[in-house]
Amino acid sequence: MIHAKTITIRTKKEDSAFLYHVLEANEGLTAYSTVNQVQHHPFRDVQLIFSPECEGDVRALLADLTDILVP
């Protein structure tokens, strides 16, 4: 049985469409879900779900996206 790993990231609402597009373009790397979306909140929290074998690639992708991620 494989145990999935998760990381939750935050992006500004106006950057979320770009983030989703990048995640879709890297098909098979990670699944994702928007967490607790509040209608007028300026941020989107996104949970990434991936296999342990993909962790290095997921972290490398996130490193390339630091300009749109909120610490």
How does pLDDT run across 16-69, given as a tens digit for each residue? 999 999 999 999 999 999 998 777 889 999 999 999 999 999 999 999 999 999
Class of domain 5-64: alpha beta
2-18 tens-digit pLDDT: 799 999 999 999 999 99
Q: With the C-alpha atoms ordered 22, 24, 28, 29, is the resulting torsion angle positive or negative?
A: positive
3-state secondary structure (DSSP) of residue 41: coil
> Which pLDDT score is estimated for 71?
84
CA distance 6 to 60: 15
User: Does position 1 have pLDDT exceeding 70, yes or no?
Assistant: no
> Which pLDDT score is estimated for 7?
97
3-state secondary structure (DSSP) of residue 47: strand
